[in-house]
Structures are given as C-alpha cells and as structure tokens.
Amino acid sequence: MPRRLLSLSHSYVVALNRRLAVELARAGGKAWEVTAVAPRFFHGDLRPIPLEPDPGAPLEVVGLRAFGSRFKHFFLYGPELREVLRRPCDVVHCWEEPYVLAGAQVAAWTPRPARLAYFTYQNIPKRYPPPFGALERFAMERAAGWVAGGVTSVQALADRPGYRDRPHVQLPSGVDLDAFKPDPAAGKATRARLGWGEDGPPVVGFVSRFVEEKGCGLLLRALDQAAGPWRALFLGDGPMRPALDAWAKRHGDRVRVAPPATHAEVPRYLNAMDVLCVPSQTTRRWKEQFGRILVEAFACGRAVVASDSGEIPHTVGDAAVVVPESDASAWAAAIDRLLSSERERAELSGRGLARARERFAWPVVARRYLEFFDRLCDARS
C-alpha cells in the first residue's frame, strides 16, 4: 500500500507554485499518494488570486476557503480543512510557518497517527510577541520534524526549543525548468513590446516588490553612479512606485517599469534582461530568506548580481557576483563590469544554469523531500 502525503500551502493557490506537490507525486510513483491543499482564493502581495487550475496534474488538488488572507499571520483555512485532515494520511506537510495562526490550526486538526512536518524560512532568532510565541510552541510540540528553507534557517532554529529535539533537513525551494529556461526569442519579443530595439545597451533587471528592503532604492542610486550605458527594466509593484516612476521619468527611454505580472509571465521578462540585480537589504526584523528569483534567473541563463543579505550567498554559490548589500558604489562597479563584458555574463550564465539543474530543479528537490518523509514514517514504525 502506498504511503499517503497531504501537502498544504497558501502559495498553492498559484498553479506554478504547486510544482513541488506535482513533483512529489511524480517522484513518489507507486510508493506515495499525494494530495495538495490550497485556498480557493488568496490575497497575494501584488494581486488577488483565485485558485488556478492545472489540468493534467498527477494529483488531487483540494480547494478550501481561506479567511483573513490579507493578513498572512492571522489567516485561517475554512472548517472543511478538518475533514480533509481526517482522511487516512501518513505525512502532513505544512508549508505554513509554525508561528502563524494557520500553522497552529493545522497542528490542532491533524490526527495523531499522521506525521506533521513544517516548512520554515525563518532565519532570524526571534522572541515572538503574543500570540505568535504560543502558536509556535503549540505547533512544534505536535510536529514530528521540520524542513528549513536555507542554511541560515538551520543556524537560527537548530538550537531553539521545539526544534532542536526533532529531525530536520535543509531543502531549498525549487525551480520549474519547463517554465524557466533560456528563451532568446521571448526576450527579443518582450523588449520589442516594451518599445526597445535590439541595438541598445544591455538591460539591467529588477523583479520584486518596490520596497527599500528589497533594495529598490539602492539599485536606483547604483545606476545613477554607473559609468557605462545601460537600460533598466523593473517588474513588480509596491510603495516605492511613485519614487521609481519619478526616477524613470528623468531617464527617459532608458527605463521601463512593467505592470505587475503573473508568475507564469516572469520568464519572458527575465529573458529580456542581460543582468538581474537582487540588492536585498537586511533590516532589524528581516534578511533575505532564499531569493526564488535568483534560481529562476539561473534557469533562464541570466547573469546575476546579488547582495550578501541573509541566505543569498548560500543560494548563489559561485554562480553570481555577490556585492556588499549597502555599498552603492560597489554595486555600480559590479554592474559596469558585467555590462561591459559579454564573456563574463556568459560564464555566469553557464554556472547558473548548471546550479539550477543540479540543485534546484523540482524533481531533485522532491526526491529529497520524500527521503525525509520516509525517515519520519520509519521512525514512527
């Protein structure tokens, strides 16, 4: 009889984000039966999102109501979640942080025979204010193990009560190599839609929320200091949009600010860029936890310049240029160097593609997940 896995996440509302669950089902073959649970509707960072279909996926997707999804720390799944969790199940994989209300809800409603494993990106040791500290303690008391999204998450949590005495594994998020791949034709077509010809200078890209912690302001200052010619493409939205629009107006035809895009549209924008910049900035309460756009850019064969915030150096290895996060002059110099050297961009492209395929491809990540889940089940036996 196959083992049964229920994988639950609010991010599964986006079909592309369910790639982990899909690959778990494929990698599990006849040994694992996988069900994905997602909200029927969720308020995303940039847009409201109804549950997206994925015809032909080799697993059941159960859509549930979600209440309060504008506030990720406080949202709850509908009461029908209790019925889903009562299905016979060997492992419940909860891709919600254990300190949020939904994470504690899953802990309360998961029947005892099932092994509950949380996924966490938390990479700063914190003492949570009420009620979050109590929610985390409750959830981890019920948990059989946990998955850390990065090296810095393990460093932050491995000695924390509730975590240190439970099995854990460090596994990254993955990248869909079918959707994110080098596509020169798509890049050329996207630049044409933006009103740019092929004879202009290289394109510097930024894909994220327009906020200071994601380094939007730092990148503007660095580009102002850059000596060589450039064009800049910004994809996203956020509170800094007015400041970005004003800056773009000063630079005229050199800058494009694209409207918010779906995740499925991101590959064509990445392929329109020559260099992706990820200038994340550490704050008192946050540092970069993984940087999904980094591995998506690798998979598209883009050269990357990234800051040294949080998990980024572990994510990129030797496949990107890593710059001190708050040094605008160093950023300007790194951008100038890459834009002036097609050879160096090609070298980074090759290393990034290899890293995406060897470490971050969803089938690779899924097999490691199932190895960990087998370990939890075998420990119960």
Q: Judge whether residue 327 has pLDDT over 80.
A: yes
pLDDT (tens digit per residue) in 240-258:
999 999 999 999 999 999 9
Question: Domains, the chain, ranges and CATH?
Answer: 3-174+361-380 (3.40.50.2000), 184-359 (3.40.50.2000)
pLDDT above 80 for 342: yes
Percent residues over pLDDT 90 in the chain: 94
**And the tokens for 210?**
């327009």
- pLDDT confidence tier of residue 381, bands split at 50, 70 and 90: low
Query: pTM of the predicted model, to two decimals?
Result: 0.91
pLDDT at 46 > cutoff 80? no
State whether residue 212 is helix, strand or coil: helix
In this model, does residue 21 exceed pLDDT 70? yes
Q: What is residue 47's predicted lDDT score, i.e. its pLDDT? A: 76
SS3 at position 135 = helix
Question: What's the pLDDT score for residue 16?
Answer: 83
- Reading the block at residue 291, the tokens are 């940087």
Specify the residue for token string 């209440």. Answer: 67
pLDDT band, residue 168 (cuts 50/70/90): very high
Kindly give the pairing relationship between strand 76-77 and strand 66-67: antiparallel
Confidence of residue 263 (pLDDT cuts 50, 70, 90): confident
Residue 234 CA, distance from chain mean position: 18
Mean pLDDT of 353-361: 97
* Confidence (pLDDT) at 260: 86
pLDDT grade for 68, boundaries at 50, 70 and 90? very high
Strand bridging mode 275-278 / 303-307 = parallel
Helix ranges (H only) for 252-341 are 266-270, 292-299, 312-316, 328-339
Residue 277 has pLDDT above 90, yes or no: yes
Predicted confidence at residue 84, as pLDDT, reads: 97
Q: Is the Cα dihedral 329, 335, 338, 340 positive or negative? A: negative
229 phi and psi angles, rounded to 5 deg: -70, 145
Buried b / exposed e along 346-362 (16+ C-beta atoms within 10 A): eebbebbbebbeebbbb
How does DSSP classify residue 204?
Answer: E
Residues 279-325 pLDDT 10s? 999 999 999 999 999 999 999 999 999 999 999 999 999 999 999 99
pLDDT in tens, 91-107: 999 999 999 999 999 99
Average pLDDT, the chain: 96
